[in-house]
Amino acid sequence: MSETPLPNRRIVSSRHLAEGEMWEASELEYGMIIAYNAFSRWMSRCMTAAGKADLTPLEILVLHNTNSRGREKRLTDICFLLNIEDTHTVNYALRKLLKQELLVSEKRGKEVFYSTSPSGTELCEAYRKVRSSCFLDGLSRMDLSGDELREIAASLRALSGQYDQSSRAAASL
């Protein structure tokens, strides 16, 4: 990554959370907030450009996760891989994707297995093409190597673990 000077002022969403030691955590959280919202907006607009305008960001994530590796997945698999605790939101997304014929399901015993339908697979491929032309082309000009992107991803996964642990601690108060 190229070295860019840090701004002298604190860029935070909530000044009251940026007081005292580790105030930088508030700056990080603000960065995650705006990145999350930009990513959600991007997914929706990319999917619209790919040909499907009425999917929510969660539905898009569930569709791509279900399509990943061409393997069937259960509700619990999808929730685990996306780190979503609230299974009913994923279940609702699955029902909507089934209704739109982007997924198919098969019940085996008590388990339901989901996979992408041919039209769901085609939509994921169209999304991939839009992503490549609109996002990846611009990303390549940011002077970030593949290894640096992997380091950022590893840091984000580590932070998610810290937030998960902290949420368990807060739930026990």
**Separation in Å, CA 4 to CA 1, 134, 143:** 9, 25, 12
Q: Where residue 119 sits, what CATH number does that domain have?
A: 1.10.10.10
Domain count, the chain: 1
How many angstroms from the chain centroid is the CA of residue 44?
12
* Residue range(s) defining the domain that contains residue 97: 23-139
Residue 3 lies in a domain: no
10-residue block means of pLDDT along the chain (173 residues)? Answer: 66 79 87 96 98 98 97 97 97 98 97 98 98 92 92 96 95 95
Collapse the DSSP code of 116 into the 3-class scheme (helix H, G, I; strand E, B; otherwise coil) and give the result. Answer: strand
Residue 172 lies in a domain: no
Residue 161 lies in a domain: no
Residue 109 lies in a domain: yes
Identify the pLDDT of residue 13.
Answer: 76
Identify the pLDDT of residue 7.
Answer: 67
pTM over the 0.85 mark: yes
Residue 160 lies in a domain: no
